[in-house]
Amino acid sequence: MRGRVARSAFALGSASLLIVAMAGCNQSTPEEENSAQSDLKIVEQVQVDESGAEVKAAEGATPADPAGDGKATCSPLSIAMAGALTGPDAALGINIKNGVQLAVDKHNKANPGCQVQLKTFDTEGDPQKATGIAPQIVDDPYTIGLVGPAFSGETKATGTVFDQAGLASLTASATNPDLSKNGWKTFFRGLANDAVQGPSVANYLKDTLGYKKICVVDDSTDYGKGLAEPIRATLGPVADSSCNIQVKKGDKDFSAAVTQIKGASPDAVFFSGYYSEAAPFVQQLKDGGFEGTFVSADGTKDQEFVKQAGESSKDAILSCPCGPASAEFTEEYKANSGGAEPGTYSTEGYDLGTILMKAIDSGANTREAVLNFVRGYNGQGVARNYQWTPEGELTSSLVWIYKVQ
């Protein structure tokens, strides 16, 4: 009896060791799992206009410096930044915050007589949370300018609050075209909207790359729908009606969409949404045998997409009205952000923060004065030149095409 127990125990122990050994062979460390995608980066390719044709990037213009001449004086003032700093899409908001912080820190270091505080507000990218935060921003008498909100849905939900308070609201990233049609006098968009981005990338795909069949998928958000509409309209018959798909923000299972797309056999899939859904979606597409090109836009164009999607992100094409970072800006940004690389909207956050610093240095110490300064502004930034129409749209805007490689 004791011998049978011993033999059983030995067999069980051996089996356990075998399972552990097999698990050890099949499992890889996080470092090993990330090694394949660690070399993948989002690299700028070309700048395009609405026809999809390449436009050479402007060179030689010196961007505005938030440090100014170092002689500014002001009473205690603050500017606000509002956007997703936690949650599934936090990387996009953090990029903006770090950019604004760099502008404020450079200003404060150079101007001991004018110290400006940056007050950050985490909306998690949620319009409902943003509506609770907006009154906190406008009720602070020291806050005379805002960079944000970051996303289109939260901007739509709060724009009237900021407009009524006379607070200049410069968004680095909200691209829904309808935002500038609300009659707000305080809204300024720091990049091209999706009525520009949509046709630009759609024409690039069908005319420059020659794709004949594209499935367009959106995530049902204000941003996703706002971008998908001009994409579908510009693609025309190239946007295959058999795979015109809507999913939901927060979805992680895209099996139904994958099946529908496989049935259509398109050259490419355009996903209009954020990286937190784009990453599992492209993984499931590749696992399902899709061999075409995965295309998305600024909501996906973040290194988090590459990190989360891994090897499945390789060769993805990503459009963005956001400008790439120069070598000098990258060096300053990393030094000020604990080594973090600039990402999507980092340059826009910095540029818009710089404009607010220049407003304060000009003597604008009220919301009305800052608003008037921004309305009349015309100057070069790291990402582009900034000058606005009365509706808050840039007078000139182009789109960049990036690729994961």
Name the percent of the chain lying above pLDDT 70.
Answer: 91
- Residues 6 or more apart in contact with residue 187 via CB below 8 angstroms: 155, 159, 162, 163, 169, 171, 179, 180, 391, 392
In the chain, what are the domain boundaries? 77-191+327-397, 195-320
H/E/C letters for each residue in the chain?
A: CHHHHHHHHHHHHHHHHHHHHHHHHHCCCHHHHHHHHHCCCEEEEEEECCCCCECCCCCCCCCCCCCCCCCCCCCCEEEEEEECCCCCCHHHHHHHHHHHHHHHHHHHHHCCCCCEEEEEEECCCCHHHHHHHHHHHHCCCCEEEEECCCCHHHHHHHHHHHHHHCCCEEECCCCCHHHHHCCCCCEEECCCCHHHHHHHHHHHHHHHCCCCCEEEEECCCHHHHHHHHHHHHHHHHHECHHHCEECCCCCCCCHHHHHHHHHHCCCEEEEECCHHHHHHHHHHHHHCCCCCEEEECCCCCCHHHHHHHHHHHCCCEEEECCCCCCHHHHHHHHHHCCCCCCCCCHHHHHHHHHHHHHHHHCCCCCHHHHHHHHHCCEEECCCCEEEECCCCCECCCCEEEEEEC
Reply yes or no on whether the pLDDT at 334 is more than 50. yes
Residue 316 and residue 311: Cα distance in Å, rounded? 10
Q: How are beta strands 245-246 and 268-272 bridged, if at all?
A: unpaired
Reply yes or no on whether the pLDDT at 315 is more than 80. yes
pLDDT at position 38, please? Answer: 62
- Equal CATH topology for 77-191+327-397 and 195-320: yes
Closest CA to 344 of 189, 173, 222: 173
pLDDT at position 57, please? Answer: 79
Reply yes or no on whether the pLDDT at 11 is more than 70. no
| Least trusted range by pLDDT, from 37-46, 79-88, 341-350 | 37-46
116 confidence band (pLDDT: 50, 70, 90) = very high
Reply yes or no on whether the pLDDT at 321 is more than 50. yes
Reply yes or no on whether the pLDDT at 14 is more than 90. no
- Residues 6 or more apart in contact with residue 4 via CB below 8 angstroms: none
Phi/psi at 345 (nearest 5 deg)? Answer: 75, 0
CATH of domain 195-320: 3.40.50.2300
Reply yes or no on whether the pLDDT at 356 is more than 50. yes
Q: Over the stretch 203-222, which tens digit does the pLDDT of each residue have? A: 999 999 999 999 999 999 99
Residues 311-328 have a mean pLDDT of 95
Q: Domain spanning 77-191+327-397: which CATH class is it, in words?
A: alpha beta
Reply yes or no on whether the pLDDT at 32 is more than 90. no
Residue 179 and residue 33: Cα distance in Å, rounded? 41
Residue 248 and residue 221: Cα distance in Å, rounded? 8
Residue 194: other Cβ atoms inside 10 A: 30
Yes or no: say if 317 and 295 are a contact pair by the CB < 8 Å rule.
yes
Residue 346 and residue 333: Cα distance in Å, rounded? 9
What are residue 63's DSSP bridge partners? none
58 confidence band (pLDDT: 50, 70, 90) = confident
- Residues 6 or more apart in contact with residue 397 via CB below 8 angstroms: 191, 192, 193, 196, 321, 384
Q: What is the pTM of this model?
A: 0.86
- Residues 6 or more apart in contact with residue 66 via CB below 8 angstroms: 103, 104, 106, 107, 353, 354, 357, 358
